[in-house]
């Protein structure tokens, strides 16, 4: 079994690659080319664990499980990352473990890639102004994702921790050659925007329905457990909702809160993103439509990305081989059938 660090993973797959990997994974799921994903959530002392499992049937059968711990006081209290975890990748037709790898690089990149794919299919193609809510690591990749697929000219950035916005805006303006400014007034920023991304750990909604102009595309990224919420439930219920996975969004996403409030039913979710990519369902049909992408993060993304990382690591002989007797070096012969 191959062991891979975050630094090794970062050297193997570029963000542009993640976009295609994630798009293909969603399409395969819609076309029946994936194992049914599963999700578990466990509350812990001062945090929570997410366990996401699933797999792809083709072009090579892979199964993966990701365990991420989210402890949002870690940095402040212990100097540790707030989110930590592992992905275990196995062969999907015989169960042979293939790799164990750090999950954080993949989680960050595949989440941003999902927003890029969703924006390409669901945002107005001429979208030039966005509002980004959340100035952490995910905020960085989300802004980069939008810039990659839309003709962005300006970004307003807002955070529930206002001291972050100045530093973040300056860094991202330089990194992306984009006009990035702190949002002093969130409703005003939203009113001037074509696109909004929310990627905070908020447990109470901070975006209201009457702040959202016609035609806006919203990627709601932060709500990935039942207690997290960034959008008012009535905003979600009044929008066209596209889920990464219907059942998962209904269980832990923004749709969950609208359903629980009795404002919509699970079958009111318009489509899954993969269905739109595959042409099974319609995407945007009017410039006036408000569309919410309920992005809860899926095992499909994790497995597809981990498989790409694994295949490239094998080809380049990167990583350490583990066996029951210990570490056996970095270039052992794969125990799986030849990779494509």
Give the pLDDT confidence of 233-256 residue by residue, as tens digits.
999 999 999 999 999 999 999 999
pLDDT at 326 over 90: no
- Classified by CATH at the fold level, domain 2-106+299-327 comes out as ornithine cyclodeaminase, domain 1 (3.30.1780)
Residue range 157-185, pLDDT digits in tens:
999 888 889 999 999 999 999 999 999 99
Q: Active-site positions? A: 66
What's the token pair of residue 274? 């993969």
Residue 325 pLDDT: 63
Is the confidence at residue 335, as pLDDT, over 50? no
- Confidence band of 323 (pLDDT split at 50, 70, 90): confident
Instruction: Give CA–CA dist 65/300, Å, rounded.
Output: 10
147 phi and psi, to 5 degrees?
-65, -30
Q: Decide yes or no: CATH 3.40.50.720 for domain 112-294.
A: yes
Tell whether the model's pLDDT for residue 231 goes beyond 90: yes
Q: For residue 331, is pLDDT > 50? A: no
- Residues 6 or more apart whose Cβ sits within 8 Å of residue 34: 25, 28, 54, 55, 56, 57, 300
Residue pair 67/50 in contact by the 8 Å Cβ criterion: yes
pLDDT of residue 328: 53
| Residue 10 dihedral angles phi and psi, to the nearest 5° | -60, -30
What is the Cα–Cα distance from 23 to 120, expressed in whole angstroms?
A: 10
- Mean predicted confidence (pLDDT) in 312-322: 95
Residues 212-217, mean pLDDT to the nearest whole number: 98
- What pTM, to 2 d.p., does this model score? 0.92
Q: Cβ neighbours of residue 171 under 8 Å, at least 6 residues apart?
A: none
What are the structure tokens assigned to 287, written together?
Answer: 């410039």
Confidence class for position 327, pLDDT limits 50, 70, 90 = low
Between residues 73 and 126, which one has the greater pLDDT? 126
Helix boundaries (H) for 177-280: 186-191, 233-237, 246-252, 254-260, 273-277
Q: What is the mean pLDDT of the chain?
A: 93
Reported residue count of the chain is: 340
Share of the chain above pLDDT 70, in %: 95
pLDDT tens-place string over residues 282-301? 999 999 999 999 999 999 99
Mean pLDDT of 66-83: 88
Look at residues 268, 271, 237 and name the one whose alpha carbon lies nearest to residue 254.
237
Predicted local confidence at residue 163, as pLDDT: 83
Least confident of 181-195, 202-216, 323-337: 323-337
Q: What angle do CA 180, 186, 190 make, to 5 degrees?
A: 75
Phi-psi group of 32: left, alpha or beta (phi > 0 → left; psi -120 to 50 → alpha; rest → beta)? left
The full set of domain ranges for the chain reads: 2-106+299-327, 112-294
Q: Quickly state the pLDDT bin for 324 (edges 50, 70, 90).
A: low
Q: Which pLDDT score, from 0 to 100, does residue 309 have?
A: 98
Q: Are 218 and 291 in contact (CB under 8 A)?
A: yes
């Amino acid at each position: 079994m191959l062991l891979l660090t975050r630094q090794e993973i970062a050297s193997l797959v570029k963000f542009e690659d993640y976009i295609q990997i994630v798009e293909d994974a969603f399409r395969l799921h819609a076309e029946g080319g994936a194992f049914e994903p599963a999700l578990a959530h466990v509350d812990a002392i001062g945090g929570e664990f997410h366990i996401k499992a699933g797999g792809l049937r083709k072009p090579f059968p892979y199964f993966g499980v990701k365990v991420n711990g989210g402890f949002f006081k870690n940095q402040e209290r212990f100097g540790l990352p707030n989110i930590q975890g592992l992905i275990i990748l196995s062969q999907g037709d015989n169960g042979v473990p293939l790799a164990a790898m750090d999950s954080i690089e993949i989680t960050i990149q595949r989440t941003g890639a999902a927003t890029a794919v969703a924006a390409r299919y669901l945002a107005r193609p001429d979208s030039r102004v966005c509002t980004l809510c959340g100035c952490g690591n995910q905020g960085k990749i989300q802004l980069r994702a939008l810039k990659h697929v839309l003709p962005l000219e300006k970004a307003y950035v807002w955070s529930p921790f206002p001291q972050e916005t100045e530093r973040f805006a300056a860094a991202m303006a330089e990194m992306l050659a984009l006009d990035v400014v702190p949002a002093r007034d969130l409703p005003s920023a939203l009113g001037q925007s074509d696109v909004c991304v929310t990627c905070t750990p908020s447990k109470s909604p901070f975006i209201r329905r009457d702040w959202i102009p016609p035609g806006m595309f919203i990627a709601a990224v932060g709500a990935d457990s039942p207690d997290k919420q960034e959008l008012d439930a009535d905003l979600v219920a009044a929008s066209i909702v596209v889920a990464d996975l219907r059942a998962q969004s209904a269980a832990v996403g923004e749709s969950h809160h609208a359903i629980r409030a009795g404002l919509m039913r699970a079958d009111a979710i318009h489509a899954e993103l993969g269905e739109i990519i595959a042409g099974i369902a319609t995407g945007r049909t009017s410039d006036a439509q408000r569309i919410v992408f309920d992005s809860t993060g899926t095992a499909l993304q994790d497995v597809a990305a981990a498989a790409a990382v694994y295949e490239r690591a094998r080809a380049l002989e990167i990583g350490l081989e583990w066996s029951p007797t210990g570490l056996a070096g970095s270039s052992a012969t794969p125990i799986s059938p030849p990779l494509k």
